[in-house]
Copies of this chain bind each other. A is one copy, B any other.
């Protein structure tokens, strides 16, 4: 609600001090647990054992912290997961590896990813567009892969575009209910969801 007073310079400083990754990790966890708008700079500073003023030495604003969390993890997903679709192995195997890795990585990085997806709207349009670019690139690459699989007769599903959306809906929802103490580990859950995605939803038959 409270609007930033000054310092609405258009470009983030990105000082990237040595402590900033540690501070971002603390902030991401708090944003995940309570929501970005319910976490004050006081609380982040407290969690890190520093003063608010010191926090402002490392980051120009609260919005810049959100941007760094959001942009960092989004870029990471594009850079580390999309390459799994390349290579010489069978297409269903490559897609399964992407789905499994996506689910596992999403769980490991849930403080960052959930914050990125939930709080994207709170970024300034210019910054938001940057993050959106990575998200769209990731989605469209997977969609094109699935469309190619359907064209080659490897997958069999109506409307590959919507099926890709359904696939992402499925694998993104896990984090809302997964309990690490439950019957299945995240690795087992990822394998089960990969079967649901590639086998059931997309209709791959060995």
Name the CB-closest residue of B to A42. B1
Chain B neighbourhood of A176, CB < 8 A: 169
Which one, B34, B38, B173, contacts A173 given CB within 8 A?
B173
A174 at the interface (CB under 8 A from B): yes
Copies per assembly: 2
Interface class of chain A by DSSP: helix
Chain B neighbourhood of A201, CB < 8 A: 196, 200-201
Chain B neighbourhood of A174, CB < 8 A: 165, 169
A166 at the interface (CB under 8 A from B): yes
| B158 adjacent to A169 (CB under 8 Å) | no
25 A–B contact pairs at CB < 8 A? A1-B37, A1-B40, A35-B37, A35-B121, A157-B200, A158-B192, A158-B195, A159-B192, A162-B184, A162-B189, A162-B192, A162-B193, A163-B196, A165-B173, A165-B177, A166-B170, A166-B173, A169-B170, A169-B172, A169-B173, A170-B170, A173-B173, A196-B201, A200-B200, A200-B203
